[in-house]
């Protein structure tokens, strides 16, 4: 059976595409699947950093499409999991270095040997984004519960809808702050899902463990105590078809909040 090509995209930058790509890829590999991660953000590569593989990159995606090396040579094995490989982006080139057709060819080749190919897309809706979605048949849209992020996600969803090759697209809501949602100072998961009318794949809580794990170059999904890590693992399970309920992110209340909640009925 051929592998599934999934693009992780968002429109807006800084909402957690690369973190999501790294963690979903790692989680799927942990579940025993063969996974290839591709960083398509040419010129602004970061996936290697998040995976802690920055010192092992010899060849890049651009080297592969230009024929400087074989595809196999450019695939860097993960430190912990032999099922997981990374194809890094070139740092010294720009988005025009890879064409849509070349991207499709690379995906086609990788599909034969890997169960999942995860494409980390660059921000924006220009050439880089078009390249990233070229080989994909599924998409994950990452957004945070902020207006600008949701607006850009809506734009991306519109573009994905227009792409016949993309059969399904789902939302990951990242950096959710349950305490702010409870005090009505942040859009809730339901609000965003309703506004975008899109299926929800997962919710990731705002978590300092994401930052500390990035510092170490180890995706947070390795940290079994971290809520965000658990959330990413749940997402990976949903991707392979398991029915995993959404996590309850609400934090334990202190006594004052408990008394308040007795008096206030939700609208």
Q: What are phi and psi of 77, to 5 degrees?
A: -75, 140
Examine residue 155 and tell whether it contacts another protein (CB under 8 A): yes
Examine residue 264 and tell whether it contacts another protein (CB under 8 A): yes
Q: How far is the CB of 63 from another protein (least distance, A)?
A: 39
Place of tokens 């802690």: 52
Q: How far is the CB of 7 from another protein (least distance, A)?
A: 22
CA angle in degrees (0–180, nearest 5) for 33-239-5 = 70
- How many Å apart are CA 49 and CA 91, to the nearest integer? 12
Residues in the chain, overall count: 267
List, in sequence order, every beta strand (DSSP E) within 105-238.
116-120, 138-143, 168-176, 199-205
Q: How far is the CB of 259 from another protein (least distance, A)?
A: 9
Query: Among 127-135, 151-159, 214-222, 241-249, which window interacts with another protein (CB under 8 A)?
Result: 151-159
Place of tokens 């902020």: 146
Report residue 140 as tokens.
Answer: 């994950």
Report residue 83 as tokens.
Answer: 């099922």
Examine residue 161 and tell whether it contacts another protein (CB under 8 A): no
Residues between 185 and 224 that touch another protein (CB under 8 A): 185-188, 191, 195, 197
Examine residue 183 and tell whether it contacts another protein (CB under 8 A): yes
Residue 168 · residue 4 · CB < 8 Å: no
Examine residue 104 and tell whether it contacts another protein (CB under 8 A): no
Examine residue 162 and tell whether it contacts another protein (CB under 8 A): no
Query: Among 7-15, 51-59, 143-151, 224-232, which window interacts with another protein (CB under 8 A)?
Result: 143-151
Residues that bind another protein (CB under 8 A): 147, 150-151, 154-155, 158, 181, 183-188, 191, 195, 197, 260, 263-264, 266-267
């Amino acid at each position: 059976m051929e592998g599934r090509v999934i693009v992780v995209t968002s429109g807006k930058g800084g909402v957690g595409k690369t973190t999501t790509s790294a963690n979903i890829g790692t989680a799927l590999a942990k579940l025993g699947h063969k996974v290839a991660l591709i960083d398509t953000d040419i010129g602004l590569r970061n996936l290697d950093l998040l995976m802690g593989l920055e010192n092992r990159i010899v060849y890049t995606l651009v080297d592969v499409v230009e024929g400087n090396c074989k595809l196999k040579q450019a695939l860097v094995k993960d430190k912990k999991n032999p099922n997981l490989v990374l194809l890094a982006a070139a740092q010294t080139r720009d988005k025009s270095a890879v064409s849509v057709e070349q991207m499709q060819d690379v995906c086609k080749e990788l599909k034969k040997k890997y169960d999942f190919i995860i494409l980390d897309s660059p921000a924006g809706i220009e050439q880089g984004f078009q390249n990233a979605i070229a080989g994909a048949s599924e998409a994950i849209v990452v957004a945070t519960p902020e207006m600008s992020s949701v607006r850009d996600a809506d734009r991306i969803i519109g573009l994905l809808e227009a792409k016949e090759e993309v059969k399904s697209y789902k939302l990951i809501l990242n950096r959710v702050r349950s305490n702010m949602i409870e005090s009505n100072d942040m859009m809730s998961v339901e609000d965003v899902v309703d506004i975008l009318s899109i299926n929800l794949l997962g919710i990731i809580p705002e978590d300092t463990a994401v930052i500390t794990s990035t510092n170490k170059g180890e995706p947070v999904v390795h940290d079994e105590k971290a809520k965000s890590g658990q959330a990413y693992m749940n997402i990976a399970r949903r991707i392979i078809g398991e029915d995993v309920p959404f996590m309850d992110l609400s934090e334990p209340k202190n006594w004052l909040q408990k008394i308040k909640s007795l008096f206030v009925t939700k609208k």
